[in-house]
Structure 1
């Protein structure tokens, strides 16, 4: 059993590392950046991979994000060193060990990593873990330090994000009027364009370019889908589904308001 303790400790380090990155990702999303960018920044900081200049600016210019990244860097250095040390110790041959035992440890390591990989790819686990982490962060931290959090009902199904427009995105090279984001329940608050002044409350004739950072407000699930939406027929279909969902929500809200009026009238 003692020969398997290093592998068990390795799994514990990996699980804790995954949880740390997940918590940091959700925390960064709560500060107003997109899911994909938050995930990239959290993983980069934890592994020490670093950022590009524009992404580094997004962190250093925001005090809460800066604290999250600094903590990730500290924990990442300790976690990676421990994981590598545990892995090396688990396969050190003392000279009198049976070869079957070594292959058994290889099998245990592969099986454990496969299980962890399947868990990280599960949408069901991902959604519930995100909800749990978000609830815990809101319960025991004060990430939402700005008054606009309450004004915009952030945390009640709505959020504000910074989304970088990429060349393959559904948004690229299209004007705001043609995108019809308002029909999905999404409002464009502003656009940051490299080499140009910040454009607040842009008009419908404004076209989005690759490299733009667009600030959006709307339902969390719609913004998450929009961040992952790519150009082409699949992106158009996602747009139509989001519009239908928004129309259904509006009808349900209208029915609730009508019922409330009838109840109060009686």
Structure 2
């Protein structure tokens, strides 16, 4: 009987995980990232990655995460108390099966595409109504379509932009579908006269715009960046 209870408990936990994977997906988070983070929060392992910032920086995902953390803590207490009750008085199988079936029903309903679309619209509307722009993660502010890109482009000695200004290096840049947000030079961010500022080795350009336009305009520097990143990976940096 104890094994039966553990099996039902496992079914409930698995169903809860998948329910929250669906809910996180409705907020725009990828499935593989959602599942890993949900399991991490439920188990209370404290395993942190850069992906956790996608949850911490999103107000709706934070609320879902709070429930998951509490559920993970209380569910452990429930299983311990239930086993103790079984050992002393016997376990009420009917109630446990009812909870398991109810949880599975919620999961099945959430897997319906129209239900997921409903939650996606609801979460998006709630974000619009109740959340200030400053509270949103960068991804939700800038990357609203698949064509958008936010790129930090480093300037190397071999770069086309090295020792040049953007005004000189890129003709008619004001007509192109991109903007330079700022120049990062060491600990200093340059926001004034960006296009008239001479670029030096070690500078970083924060670019926002259409990905294909950025790749086309900064093709030479983009290739250098990718080659350097590949070399760093090969070198184990």
Shorter-chain TM band:
0.3 to 0.5
TM-score, length basis structure 2 = 0.44
Name which one, 1 or 2, has greater alpha-carbon Rg: 2
TM-score, length basis structure 1 = 0.40
